[in-house]
Structure 1
Amino acid sequence: MFAFDILWDALSGQEHLHLFASVKGLPPASITSIAEKSLAEVRLTEAAKMRAGSYSGGMKRRLRVAIALIGDPKLVILDEPTTGMDPITRRHVWDIINNAKKGRVIVLTTHSMEEADILSDRIGIMA
């Protein structure tokens, strides 16, 4: 099985957001403030300068959500964004995703019907 992860262990959360903001073409003068705002939104401000390799699984998932949303994309694809998170953190990420739905399409895969019910406007079930 081949698995790909967008996170590099040696880069910090802040460096990841700077990198992806640059790749997405955000104005260089605004990248620092956008990255700080994104880190605050996913509650990673305290860990902004820590290497992503030292993040817990939940912290890595929150960083991936921040990366997916940076640059205000019109289409966001999230694969199991809250799997393995504690209930409080999961609920916070659900709030982030719900707030991000305005003006964009979010395609989400999940095994959790609770998550699908809370986050989805339309649900497709694969058997």
Structure 2
Amino acid sequence: MYVMAKREKTSGSPENLPIALKKATTEMMVLHLLREKPMYTYEMMNAIAERSGGDIVFNTLYLSIYRLEENGYVEEHEKVVSEDNRTRIYLKITDAGSTYLDALVREYKRYTAALARVLELE
């Protein structure tokens, strides 16, 4: 007898689609913002929320940032200690990160265009 662990339901309701899309595009958004200028994590979260009109909101970006750092796509730019003694770590995109972002954007455009054709949205 095989006992299978119950898997979390990830499909079957339209409400789950924004969560899946957010996970799939987080690295692209982070890299895009860092291409504009070095930023700290909270600043990136606010920029994404503001630019999306509040439709994309993150509780944290740390997992994505750790993955990007591990792959050499972002790196620490500088540490700034504020007057209230908080340390802000600014990140910047690397050359490899910029190349990776270009590839992500190309693939995203290709995929969404193909999806639009399948769904007959064009």
Say yes or no: TM over 0.5: no
Report the TM-score when normalising by structure 1. 0.31
Indicate the structure with greater strand content.
Answer: 2
Indicate the structure with greater helix content.
Answer: 2
Which is greater in Rg?
2
